Each structure stands twice: as C-alpha cells, then as structure tokens.
Amino acid sequence: MASDYKTLRVIDEGPLLRVELNRPETGNAISGEVLGELLDVLTALEDDGTVRVMVLSGAGDHFCQGGDRSEFPALLAEDPSGAALRALAHRAQRVCEALSRLGVVTIARLQGDVIGAGLGLAVFCDLRVGADTCRFRMPEVGLGVPPAWGGVLPRLVEEAGQARVRRLLLTAEQFDAATAESLSLLHEVVPPDGLDAAVTRWVKPMLRRDPTTLRITKTMLNARANAAQLSVGSYFDAELLTSAATRRELTRKR
C-alpha cells in the first residue's frame, strides 16, 4: 500500500490499515486532491486480501470541517460549463460508494468538528466512535446547495431515520455527540483521550474473524442500502450538486 500521499497519512499494519486525513490547517477540508488520494487507497483495498479493518481518522483538532468550498468558484472559472465541478462531485460519489462496498470493516474515529462532507465520509463507515466533545452539522441547505454530496442522503436515512434526518437537514442545526449517538450516527461516545482505546477494543476481535465471513456479511448489509440509493435517485446527486453550485456562484457574481 503506497504511503507517499500529500493529504493523507496511511499506516499499513498488515491486517489493519490506518488512514488519516492530514490537512489540519484546513480543518481537514475535503478537496479534489483528498478525494483522489482516498479513492486510490480504497481501490487498492478492494484487491487486497490481507487487510481486514480500516480506521479512518483526522489529524489535528477536527475530523473534518466539510468540503473545500474554495474549489467551487475556481473550477467554475476554469470551466463555466460545470464539467470540472461535475467531475469533482462524481469523485466524491465514487469515494463513498467504495467505502460502502469494501469487504473490510471500516471504523471512523471522530473528534472536534464533523461537518457536511466530513459527516458524509463518517456515515459511510461501518462503525463510528466519537469524542464527547464532537460537534456535528449538515449545513448544505443553509449554504444554498442540496444534501447531495457523495450520495449521502439515503445513507443518512438508513442510519438515523427519515424524520430525524429531515430535521437535521432543514434546520442545519449543530448537534452534539450525545445526540449523534441517540440518532445512531455514533455507535459509542467516549472522552477524547479514550478514542484510541475504543478503536483498539473493536479492532482486536475483528482481526481474528474470518475475512470471507466479514465480506459476505457486509455484502448482505449493503444490499438494502443500495436499494435505498436507487429509490431516492441518489445516483443523480452529482448532477444536482453541480447545478445548484453553478447557479449559486452565478447569482453571487451578479
């Protein structure tokens, strides 16, 4: 597994792979480069027979403060047709789909802010542990774009339930770790200094599991989620996000 990434820190421990978003100066904002490197890691994992568990984390004070919105105007200036922005949105969707279909168990280790695209990445992981100081938010509606990043809406609904997700999206309100746990967006809440111990407690028994059984179990669980994606048309999310972002940028310039 390659480790010379610019935006990620990847540590290969044999059956355990640690992947850390490594842009702490930006709050680990998700840029096109981050997505490209994540996709490279996840694609390699699909053909890897040794890794059983992947832990996704973020360097610094925050797991991820959302998508790197500074890229939107730059991409539209470069290509007013929106093709470059559409490619970015498709890349986000490919990353989330790859996370979902991986045969290895994925664990999100969360601290600080978990916002927008950051929550999207986390919710596509199988298990999520968060510090009790975490802050969560889905700000898309407040920013004038639909909740279309990476096809996250059906996954959120599957995990937390439609009525609860409706409130989170329409109000764009911030919520804490205890609320996230009550919504099943976190499986466990611990003090910040207990995150590594909690991850280790989950990882150890999984490394002893039969990898074929893990892979089949994940495939069975994903079958329902894939049906939900089709039912809400989330495969068109890249087009929706591109259209909304393009319109918003043009309106801003008038």
pLDDT at residue 230, rounded to an integer: 46
Count of domains observed in the chain: 1
Contact, 51 vs 199, CB < 8 A?
no
Asked whether residue 60 is domain-assigned, the answer is yes
User: Is residue 201 in some structural domain?
Assistant: no
> How confident is the prediction for the chain on average, in pLDDT?
86
Long-range CB contacts for residues 32-36, cutoff 8 Å, separation at least 24: 32/68, 32/71, 32/88, 32/91, 33/6, 33/7, 34/7, 34/8, 34/68, 35/88, 35/91, 35/92, 35/95, 36/91
115's tokens: 């916002």
Range of the domain at 12: 8-194+210-253
Of residues 151 and 178, the one with the higher pLDDT is: 178
Would 203 be classed as within a structural domain? no
Residue 204 covered by a domain: no
Residue 52 in any domain: the answer is yes
What's the CATH number where 120 sits? 3.90.226.10
pLDDT in tens, 231-249: 444 544 555 555 555 545 4
Please give the structure tokens belonging to residue 182: 């009550």
107 lies in some domain: yes
pLDDT digits (tens, 9 = 90+) for 89-136: 889 999 999 998 888 999 999 999 999 999 999 999 999 999 999 999
Q: Do the domain assignments include residue 2?
A: no
Between these two residues, 78 and 174, which has the higher pLDDT value?
A: 174
CA dihedral 102, 153, 173, 29 (to 10 degrees): 50
Residue 204 has pLDDT above 80, yes or no: yes
Residue 149 belongs to a domain? yes
Average pLDDT, integer, range 20-42: 96
